[in-house]
Amino acid sequence: MLQDIKILMKSLSDIDVRIMLCKSAFEWELLAKKYNALRDEIEAFCTSGLPEDVETALEKTRAYLVEKKGELPPLDLSDFFK
């Protein structure tokens, strides 16, 4: 179990690195999807509840993602109004 959670945490830190390198909304969406999938996976893995450090790491990555989305150029809404 310890080994598995380490692998999952490694995937999370990979996302952290990719967030730093992310430059477009498309890339961001892919990362967000990865994050959501990974979060679901971790939650499924830790059925008895998320350990505190894992939850902190997940929240940290989420905060990075939100911050990054805010830093990217504003989303073009022209399609939405067509």
Partner 1 sequence: MGLIKNIKDAVKKEVKDYIFQMVEVEKENEKKPEQPSTESVQKNIEVKAEQPVPKAEEKPVVKEEKVQPGKVEEVEKVVEKPRKKEIYPISNDLEFVRVSYKKNQDVVTIPKELSELIKMLPLEEYACFVKLYCFALEQRKNYGYWGGTLKRRIGLDNLTTAEFEELGNNLAAYGLLLLEQLTENQKTFVLYVPFDEDTMVKLSTAKKPEKEPGKPAAKKAEKPAPKAAKTKPEPKEEPETQRAEDIPGKMVEGMENDEMYKSYKTFVSLEIDKAKMRVGRANFDKIYMEAVKYIDKKYGFKVLSDSDKFKEYLTNYYISAFDIPTFENWKKSKG
Binding residues for partner 1, rule: CB under 8 A, are: 29, 32-33, 35-36, 39, 55, 58-60, 62-63, 65-67, 69-71, 73-75, 77-81
What is the spatial distance between Cα 70 and Cα 7, in angstroms, rounded to a whole number?
Answer: 29
What's the gap between Cα 54 and its chain centre?
13
Pick the closer one to partner 1 by CB: 7 or 66: 66
Q: Would you say how long the chain is, in residues?
A: 82
- Least separation in angstroms between residue 23's CB and partner 1 is 15
Name every residue whose Cβ is closer than 8 Å to that of residue 59 and which is 6 or more positions away in sequence: none
- Least separation in angstroms between residue 25's CB and partner 1 is 8
